[in-house]
């Protein structure tokens, strides 16, 4: 149950795109298509942004998209807006009814 690996921080200008990577192993990210992404603003509960690698829940802007290749999943935010500044966490099913989070990425909108 080792944490998935994410970059600690990323920054980009408004209107640009940013891609957050999430690297696991062949036992979690690489094996299951059950990767989710959460957005968390300071002092708030996480919010589901992507599930099943690339599906968006109702109400999440289509600026947010997810993908996966091998043991690495990615979240792309296109057309960055000020309100996208937050922490982002990936989350993967790891088998045997256990789950693992990534370490989190702080996205700063310059």
Partner 1 sequence: QVQLVESGGGVVQPGRSLRLSCAASGFTFSSYAMHWVRQAPGKGLEWVAIITYDGRNDDYANTVKGRFAISRDNSKNTLSLQMNSLTIEDMAVYYCARDLSGRFTIDVWGQGTLVTVSS
Min dist. Cβ of residue 13 to partner 1 (A): 26
Q: Is the dihedral of CA 88, 43, 45, 64 positive or negative?
A: negative
* 3 interacts with partner 1 by CB under 8 A: yes
Among 45, 59, 62, 110, binds partner 1 (CB under 8 A): 45
Tokens of 60: 């999440």
| Residue with the two structure tokens 């109702």 | 58
The window from 17-25, 40-48, 59-67, 68-76 that contacts partner 1 (CB under 8 A) reads 40-48
Question: In the window 68-107, what residues touch partner 1 (CB under 8 A)?
Answer: 89, 91, 93, 96-104
Return d(Cα 94, Cα 100) in angstroms, integer. 7
């Amino acid at each position: 149950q080792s944490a998935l690996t994410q970059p600690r921080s990323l920054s980009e200008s408004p209107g640009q795109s940013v891609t957050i990577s999430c690297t696991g192993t062949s036992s979690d990210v690489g094996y299951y298509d059950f990767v989710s992404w959460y957005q968390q603003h300071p002092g708030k509960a996480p919010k589901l942004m992507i599930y099943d690698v690339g599906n968006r829940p109702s109400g999440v802007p289509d600026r947010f998209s997810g993908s996966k290749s091998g043991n690495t999943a990615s979240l792309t935010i296109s057309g960055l807006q000020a309100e996208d500044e937050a922490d982002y966490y990936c989350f993967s099913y790891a088998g045997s009814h256990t789950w693992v989070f990534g370490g989190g990425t702080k996205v700063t909108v310059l």
